[in-house]
Chains A and B, each alone.
Chain A
Amino acid sequence: MANFIDRRLNSKNKSTVNRQRFLRRYKNQIKKSVADAINQRGVTDIDSGENIIIPKKDLSEPVFHQGSGGIHDKIHPGNDKFSPGDRIAKPPKQQGQGSGQGDASNSGEGEDDFTFSISKEEYLNLLFEDLELPNLEKNQLDKLIEYKTVRSGFCAEGVPSNIDIVKSLQGSIARRIAMTSSKRKQLKAYQETLTALNQDKHDHINEERELKNKIAELETKIAKVPFIDTFDLRFRNFAKQAVPTSKAVMFCLMDVSGSMDQATKEMAKRFYILLYLFLSRTYKNIDVVYIRHHTQAKEVDEQEFFYSQETGGTIASSALELMNKIINERYNDNQWNIYGAQASDGDNWADDSPHCKSLLENKILPKTRYFSYIEITQRAHQTLWQQYQQVKESHSNFTSVHIKEVSDIYPVFRELFKKNTKSAA
Chain B
Amino acid sequence: MVTTAKKKTNKTTPLDDCPDWTFKLLAQYQTEIARVAKHYRLDTYTNQIEVITAEQMMDAYAGVGMPIGYNHWTFGKKFIQTEQTYKRGQMGLAYEIVINSSPCISYLMEENTMPMQALVMAHACYGHNSFFKGNYLFKSWTDASSIIDYLLFAKNYIAKCELRYGIDEVEATLDACHALMNHGVDRYKRPQKISLDEELKRQTEREEYLQSQVNTLWRTVPNNNENKNEKQYNFPSEPQENILYFIEKNAPLLKSWQREIVRIVRKISQYFYPQKQTQVMNEGWACFWHYTLLNHLYDEGLVTDKFMLEFLHSHTNVVAQQEYNSKYYSGINPYALGFNMFIDIRRICENPTEEDKAYFPDIAGSNWLDTLHFAMENFKDESFISQYLSPKLIRDFKLFQIHDDEHNNYLEIAAIHNEQGYKKIRQKLAEQYNLSNLEVNIQIIDADIEGNRSLTLLYTPHNNIELGESKTEVLKHLHYLWKFDVKIIQEKEAGQYKTIAQCPEKTDE
For the complex formed, measure the closest distance between the CB of A20 and the CB atoms of chain B, giving whole angstroms. 7
A89 and B410: CB pair below 8 A? yes
A24 to B409 alpha-carbon distance, docked (Å): 47
Instruction: Check if B332 is an interface residue, CB within 8 A of chain A.
Output: yes
A101 to B428 alpha-carbon distance, docked (Å): 13
A89 to B411 alpha-carbon distance, docked (Å): 6
Chain B residue nearest in CB terms to A77:
B397
Q: Which of A110-167 contact B (CB under 8 A)?
A: 114-117
A23 to B79 alpha-carbon distance, docked (Å): 12
Instruction: Check if B432 is an interface residue, CB within 8 A of chain A.
Output: yes
A8 to B59 alpha-carbon distance, docked (Å): 13
A19 to B462 alpha-carbon distance, docked (Å): 38
Instruction: Check if B73 is an interface residue, CB within 8 A of chain A.
Output: yes
Contacts of A78 in B (CB 8 A): 321-326, 329, 397-398
A1 and B47: CB pair below 8 A? yes
A250 to B156 alpha-carbon distance, docked (Å): 51
Q: Quick one: which of A19, A26, A74, A87 has the most chain B CB within 10 A? A: A74
Q: Which of A78-114 contact B (CB under 8 A)?
A: 78-80, 82-90, 97, 100-104, 106-107, 114
Instruction: Check if B26 is an interface residue, CB within 8 A of chain A.
Output: yes
A68 and B466: CB pair below 8 A? yes
Instruction: Check if A425 is an interface residue, CB within 8 A of chain B.
Output: no
Instruction: Check if A263 is an interface residue, CB within 8 A of chain B.
Output: no
Contacts of A66 in B (CB 8 A): 438, 440, 462, 465-468
A115 and B84: CB pair below 8 A? yes
A75 and B432: CB pair below 8 A? yes
Contacts of A72 in B (CB 8 A): 403-404, 463, 465
A129 to B84 alpha-carbon distance, docked (Å): 26
A18 and B75: CB pair below 8 A? yes
A14 to B175 alpha-carbon distance, docked (Å): 21
Mark the stretch among A55-63, A311-319, A411-419 that contacts chain B: A55-63
For the complex formed, measure the closest distance between the CB of A30 and the CB atoms of chain B, giving whole angstroms. 12
Q: Quick one: which of B26, B46, B80, B412 has the most chain A CB within 10 A? A: B80
Chain A residue nearest in CB terms to B330:
A104
A73 and B431: CB pair below 8 A? yes
Contacts of A18 in B (CB 8 A): 62, 69, 71-76, 79
For the complex formed, measure the closest distance between the CB of B191 and the CB atoms of chain A, giving whole angstroms. 21
A7 to B55 alpha-carbon distance, docked (Å): 11
Instruction: Check if A21 is an interface residue, CB within 8 A of chain B.
Output: yes
Contacts of A79 in B (CB 8 A): 324, 398-400, 416-417
Instruction: Check if A5 is an interface residue, CB within 8 A of chain B.
Output: yes
Chain A residue nearest in CB terms to B429:
A75
Contacts of A62 in B (CB 8 A): 179, 470, 473-474, 477
Instruction: Check if A223 is an interface residue, CB within 8 A of chain B.
Output: no
Q: Assess A63 versus B179: contact at CB under 8 Å? Given A6-B51, A71-B405.
A: yes
For the complex formed, measure the closest distance between the CB of B24 and the CB atoms of chain A, giving whole angstroms. 10
For the complex formed, measure the closest distance between the CB of B391 and the CB atoms of chain A, giving whole angstroms. 14
For the complex formed, measure the closest distance between the CB of A19 and the CB atoms of chain B, giving whole angstroms. 4
Contacts of B26 in A (CB 8 A): 4
For the complex formed, measure the closest distance between the CB of B233 and the CB atoms of chain A, giving whole angstroms. 28
Q: Which of B50, B76, B401 contacts A75 (CB 8 A)?
A: B401
Contacts of B402 in A (CB 8 A): 73-76, 88
Q: Which interface class (under 10, 10 to 19, 20 to 34, 35 or more) fits A?
A: 35 or more
Q: Assess A15 versus B76: contact at CB under 8 Å? Given A77-B397, A88-B410.
A: yes
Chain B residue nearest in CB terms to A72:
B404
- Contacts across chains A and B counted by CB atoms under 8 Å: 274
Instruction: Check if B346 is an interface residue, CB within 8 A of chain A.
Output: no
A63 and B182: CB pair below 8 A? yes
A19 to B75 alpha-carbon distance, docked (Å): 8
Q: Chain B 97-129, CB within 8 Å of chain A: the 1/0 string?
A: 000000100010010000000000000010000
Instruction: Check if B146 is an interface residue, CB within 8 A of chain A.
Output: no
A10 to B50 alpha-carbon distance, docked (Å): 11
For B, the interface residue count at a CB cutoff of 8 angstroms equals 101
For the complex formed, measure the closest distance between the CB of B99 and the CB atoms of chain A, giving whole angstroms. 13
Contacts of B204 in A (CB 8 A): none
Instruction: Check if B415 is an interface residue, CB within 8 A of chain A.
Output: yes
B44 and A1: CB pair below 8 A? yes
Q: Which of A3-52 contact B (CB under 8 A)?
A: 3-8, 10, 12-15, 17-26
A411 to B85 alpha-carbon distance, docked (Å): 34
Contacts of A4 in B (CB 8 A): 23, 26-27, 30, 49-51
A61 to B181 alpha-carbon distance, docked (Å): 11
Instruction: Check if A2 is an interface residue, CB within 8 A of chain B.
Output: yes
For the complex formed, measure the closest distance between the CB of B496 and the CB atoms of chain A, giving whole angstroms. 18
Instruction: Check if B471 is an interface residue, CB within 8 A of chain A.
Output: yes
B399 and A100: CB pair below 8 A? no
Instruction: Check if A70 is an interface residue, CB within 8 A of chain B.
Output: yes
Chain A residue nearest in CB terms to B54:
A12
Instruction: Check if B198 is an interface residue, CB within 8 A of chain A.
Output: no
Q: Which of B432, B469, B470 contacts A74 (CB 8 A)?
A: B432
Q: Chain B 40-63, CB within 8 Å of chain A: the 1/0 string?
A: 000010111111110110110011
Q: Assess A116 versus B30: contact at CB under 8 Å? Given A18-B79, A67-B469.
A: no
Q: Assess A12 versus B59: contact at CB under 8 Å? Given A61-B175, A80-B398.
A: yes
Chain B residue nearest in CB terms to A5:
B50
Q: Assess A7 versus B51: contact at CB under 8 Å? Given A21-B71, A79-B417, A82-B413.
A: yes
Instruction: Check if B94 is an interface residue, CB within 8 A of chain A.
Output: no
Instruction: Check if A226 is an interface residue, CB within 8 A of chain B.
Output: no
Instruction: Check if B425 is an interface residue, CB within 8 A of chain A.
Output: yes
A70 to B23 alpha-carbon distance, docked (Å): 56
Instruction: Check if B464 is an interface residue, CB within 8 A of chain A.
Output: yes
Q: Which of A22, A26, A61, A84 contacts B179 (CB 8 A)?
A: A61
For the complex formed, measure the closest distance between the CB of B78 and the CB atoms of chain A, giving whole angstroms. 8
Contacts of A22 in B (CB 8 A): 73-74, 76-77, 80
Contacts of B477 in A (CB 8 A): 62
Contacts of A15 in B (CB 8 A): 58-59, 62, 75-76, 79
A77 to B329 alpha-carbon distance, docked (Å): 10
Instruction: Check if B308 is an interface residue, CB within 8 A of chain A.
Output: no
For the complex formed, measure the closest distance between the CB of B80 and the CB atoms of chain A, giving whole angstroms. 5
B79 and A106: CB pair below 8 A? no
A1 and B398: CB pair below 8 A? no
B464 and A61: CB pair below 8 A? no
A23 to B473 alpha-carbon distance, docked (Å): 22
Q: Which of A5, A69, A75, A107 contacts B465 (CB 8 A)?
A: A69
A63 and B417: CB pair below 8 A? no
28 examples of A-B residue contacts, CB within 8 angstroms: A1-B46, A2-B30, A3-B47, A4-B51, A5-B49, A18-B71, A18-B74, A19-B76, A22-B73, A22-B77, A60-B473, A63-B178, A63-B474, A64-B439, A64-B471, A66-B468, A69-B464, A70-B406, A76-B401, A76-B402, A77-B323, A78-B321, A80-B325, A85-B413, A88-B412, A102-B438, A114-B77, A116-B80
| New contact pairs (17) apart from A14-B63, A71-B465, A76-B401, CB-CB < 8 Å | A4-B27, A14-B56, A14-B59, A17-B71, A19-B79, A61-B179, A62-B179, A68-B406, A71-B404, A71-B405, A76-B400, A78-B326, A78-B398, A84-B413, A84-B415, A85-B412, A102-B437
